[in-house]
Structure 1
Amino acid sequence: MSSTPSPTPSDEERELSTNSSDLIDHETFDQLLEMDDDDEHDFSKSIVWNYFEQAETTFGSMDKALEDKDLEELSKLGHFLKGSSAAIGLTKVKASCEKMQHFGNKKDETGTNDITENDALKKISSLLEKVKDEYKEAETYLKNFYNERENP
């Protein structure tokens, strides 16, 4: 085994991070990058690409649950995607999924006050579009991040 230290984010990667601090929790994402064995970031990239597949599938399930007005399922799906998003540091997506989880439980966005089923469905409907946009923003950022590593 070589004596080179584990790869850590470069100055260029840190510069990228200053433009995305509201999108990505860089402390969490940096921890993921530190698990890579090399500068190619193969391990972290595989985790992120699996997340993309998982998120796309989950959004399809969310659309169906919203169509079916299944608040319980929407809450479960929000909880699930919240955890996956938190694991790689997607702060906006995580926060929106947490709100969806609360709305699915007929609570306000803080999870403390009751709301009606109708209000919950209206809030989830607009929130779902917002979280998809936030996801696309994060997906673009992360794909650019990894593509820049592959094509310097």
Structure 2
Amino acid sequence: MSVKQAVDNQFLESMEGKHPFLKRMFTVFISQEPKRIGEIRQAIEDRDMEKLRHLAHALKGGAATMGVTGVRDCCLLLENASKNQDMTEAQSLIDTLESEIQDAYAFMFTFLAEH
């Protein structure tokens, strides 16, 4: 089974020779973001657009820092949906976000196992 390239190659190249640091970054991301994903889902269920905007913005920043472009892009769309009070759009994006984050976790777990 191949793992989707969920982390940007340019980011990975910038971290060449810094694998211990990158491993710590991936470990923190994997340990902290599942809670935030759950909070994003709950904000959508609660129709709390302000909380959704805040959570999507925070995850977008973390994902951008880590080169996880699929998650970053989805969070940008969620953030925009919350600003526009578009609950239909927000609801349509949560499954995509969860899929993208699972791809990122799989990539990071594989990286951690191989390095």
* TM-score calculated relative to the size of structure 2: 0.88
CA distance in 1, matches of 2:24, 2:111: 13
- The match for 1:30 is 13
Query: Does residue 10 of structure 2 align to residue 47 of structure 1?
Result: no
Identity of aligned residues (%): 25
Query: Which structure 1 residue ranges, 4+ long, deviate > 6 Å from structure 2?
Result: none
CA distance in 1, matches of 2:60, 2:26: 14
Where in structure 1 are there 5+ consecutive unaligned residues? 1-15, 107-116
- The match for 2:61 is 83
Whichever of the two has the greater Rg, that structure is: 1
Contact 1:75 1:105 in 2 (8 A): yes
CA distance in 2, matches of 1:145, 1:49: 10
Where in structure 2 are there 5+ consecutive unaligned residues? none
Query: Does residue 78 of structure 2 align to residue 100 of structure 1?
Result: yes
Aligned pairs, number: 113
The alpha carbon displacement at 1:33 in A equals: 4.1
- State the Cα deviation string for residues 86-126 of structure 1 (Å, max 9, x = none): 101001110000000100101xxxxxxxxxx4xx1121112
> What is the root-mean-square deviation of aligned Cα atoms in Å?
1.7
Amino acid at match of 1:26: N
Query: Does residue 104 of structure 2 align to residue 138 of structure 1?
Result: yes
CA distance in 2, matches of 1:100, 1:33: 32
The alpha carbon displacement at 1:43 in A equals: 1.9
Structure with higher RCO (Cα < 8 A, 6+ apart): 2
CA distance in 2, matches of 1:29, 1:93: 16
Contact 2:7 2:107 in 1 (8 A): no
